[in-house]
Amino acid sequence: MPVKHAPQKPRSIGQVSVIGWMEYVTLPELHIDPIKAKIDTGARTTALHATDIEAFEKGGKPWVRFRVVDEHNAPGPLREAPVHEERAIKNTSGVPEDRYVIRTKARFGAKTWVIDLSLADRTNMTFPMIVGRTALKNHAIAVHTKRAFLLSARTDQRRRKDTK
């Protein structure tokens, strides 16, 4: 006689946050104001447009200094962060590039967590930052592919043109 199993209660996976395919992301430890970022689950790694990237040592450990270009293409002040690792990361053409990866906090709406962030020249890219799937992993995030700025405050007209 077959054994009957009692119905299982569904497992609670917690509250899933839905974010837009484009959001403003803040990097508080680097004192970087909200940056327009494309949320791209097809990309593994998160990348930030940085210029004047220069490695140096601080306290016998590898560090990197860099500038983040603002939305008006003006270079910002020099930022510094410890190097988490150097890694070969495929660019949008599929060609591996050696990049510095730093580890820093990122704020998505009201939630903040630590991400790995590669520094790259994204001059010819539409977005200064791309958020890859590993930054979203284990944070109960779903990406709405047709809507943008679901977490970001809409404070100016530019942000209202997001879904057209």
Closest CA to 43 of 92, 85, 101: 92
For 5, 90, 97, 119, the CA distances from 26, given in Å and listed in that order, are 48, 24, 25, 16
Structural domains of the chain, ranges and CATH numbers in brackets: 17-49+85-154 (2.40.70.10)
pLDDT tens for 90-99 read 887 888 999 9
**Phi and psi for 133 in degrees, rounded to 5?**
-65, -30
pLDDT tens for 26-47 read 999 999 989 999 999 999 999 9
Average pLDDT over residues 14-34: 91
Distance CA 65, CA 18 (A): 33
pLDDT tens for 115-126 read 999 999 988 889
For 1-156, where are the E strands, in sequence order? 17-20, 22-27, 32-39, 46-49, 51-58, 61-69, 75-90, 96-108, 111-120, 129-131, 141-144
